[in-house]
């Protein structure tokens, strides 16, 4: 019989596990606490054109798919594969929040959209080739992670970081865009809370990915990092098409891609790699930065200053020094 070990929170290999556990718990939130109904007046008073409404709804439906897969397959595959019991606990908590994120978009839908329209949106998700392409690229690595392949955990961890710190942002853009102009601000509060979560998820998953990478020979590390860059390029190509398709007729596709590339760089930095697109914060449309709610404004654990320098900032009640790992 295997001797099974119990998780011992009184004896932790690395202080960061307690820090990340506490911060994740501190950030816990429930979608129903946000008074989304207040957005109804913006929606019903036709402040948005039909095309804008259509895009807004599609963006949220697409985000629902990404969180569904992250909660149902991505994080569970990582929970099963990591050995460390404290890491398992933290990833499990994060997995539960993915389900909260997925559910929260439905809270927005049920406030703004009709039942028939909601069904149409979920059908659209299944039929949008770009959306399906990008999530399937990520999912391939999650499924391989359940095998015994030597590099599978690193590939799953790095894919999770690309999903959370990079691919979500073509969707987050639009709610933030409206909130930056003072519209649909309650829904954007939900988005801000999700961004705050994804931010800590990306940092933690990135750290564990870096630890995993160090287990391999130098040449293998180079190969795996080249794979990540290749994946970024492939996903970027799909994002260009997806963004043109969704935002092109609103003439926002260029702005969206800049924001997406800015976040792709952050994903690479979470993985301990150099930025690829070199987009600076001042290149991002200020309306977007304005759209992130003030309470969650400091959502960047890692923000760039100059040449790929990584700086640790804070969210809510946490001191900078704790992330100096």
131-170 residues near Mn ion, rule: CB under 5 A: 164
Residues designated catalytic: 105
Report the candidate in 282, 270, 259 with the shortest Cα–Cα distance to residue 308.
Answer: 270
DSSP string of 94-163, one letter each residue: HHHHHHHHHHHHHHHHHHHS-HHHHHHHHHHHHH-HHHHHHHHHHHHHHHHTTS--TTHHHHHHHHHHHI
Q: Are 238 and 130 in contact (CB under 8 A)?
A: yes
Question: Measured from the CB of residue 219, what is the shortest distance to Mn ion in angstroms?
Answer: 31
299 binds Mn ion (CB under 5 A): no
Q: Determine which residue in the list 31, 57, 98, 255 makes contact with Mn ion, applying CB under 5 A.
A: 98
Report the candidate in 48, 53, 39 with the shortest Cα–Cα distance to residue 184.
Answer: 39
Per CB under 5 A, the segment of 39-47, 64-72, 169-177, 315-323 that binds Mn ion is 64-72
Per CB under 5 A, the segment of 3-11, 94-102, 107-115, 234-242 that binds Mn ion is 94-102
Residue 260: other Cβ atoms inside 10 A:
25
User: x/- contact string, 253-292, with Mn ion (CB under 5 A)?
Assistant: ----------------------------------------
300 binds Mn ion (CB under 5 A): no
Nearer Cβ to Mn ion (67/253) = 67
101 binds Mn ion (CB under 5 A): yes
* CA–CA dist 212, 197 (Å, integer): 22
Question: Measured from the CB of residue 5, what is the shortest distance to Mn ion in angstroms?
Answer: 27
* Residues near Mn ion (CB under 5 A): 67, 98, 101, 164, 198, 201
């Amino acid at each position: 019989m295997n001797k099974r070990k119990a998780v011992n929170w009184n004896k932790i290999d690395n202080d960061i596990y307690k820090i990340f556990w506490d911060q994740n718990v501190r950030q816990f939130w429930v979608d129903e606490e946000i008074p989304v109904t207040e957005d109804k007046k913006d929606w019903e008073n036709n402040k948005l054109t039909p095309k804008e409404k259509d895009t807004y709804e599609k963006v949220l439906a697409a985000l629902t798919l990404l969180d569904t897969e992250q909660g149902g397959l991505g994080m569970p595959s990582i929970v099963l594969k990591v050995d460390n019991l404290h890491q398992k606990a933290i990833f499990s908590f994060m997995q539960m929040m993915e389900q909260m994120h997925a559910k929260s978009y439905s809270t927005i839908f049920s406030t703004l959209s009709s039942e028939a329209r909601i069904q149409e949106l979920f059908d659209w998700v299944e039929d949008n080739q770009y959306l399906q392409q990008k999530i399937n690229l990520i999912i391939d690595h999650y499924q391989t992670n359940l095998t015994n392949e030597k590099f599978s955990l690193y590939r799953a961890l790095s894919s999770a970081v690309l999903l959370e710190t990079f691919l979500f942002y073509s969707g987050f853009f639009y709610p933030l865009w409206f909130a930056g102009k003072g519209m649909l601000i309650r829904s954007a509060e939900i988005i801000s809370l999700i961004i705050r979560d994804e931010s800590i998820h990306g940092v933690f998953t990135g750290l564990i990915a870096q630890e995993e990478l160090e287990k391999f020979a130098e040449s293998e590390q180079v190969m795996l990092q080249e794979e990540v860059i290749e994946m970024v390029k492939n996903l970027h190509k799909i994002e260009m098409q997806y963004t043109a398709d969704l935002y092109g007729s609103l003439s926002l596709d260029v702005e969206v891609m800049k924001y997406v590339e800015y976040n792709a760089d952050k994903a690479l930095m979470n993985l301990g790699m150099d930025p690829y697109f070199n987009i600076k914060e001042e290149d991002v449309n200020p309306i977007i930065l304005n759209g992130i709610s003030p309470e969650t404004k400091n959502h960047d654990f890692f923000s760039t200053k100059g040449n790929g320098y990584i700086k640790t900032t804070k969210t809510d009640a946490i001191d900078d020094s704790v992330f100096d790992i």
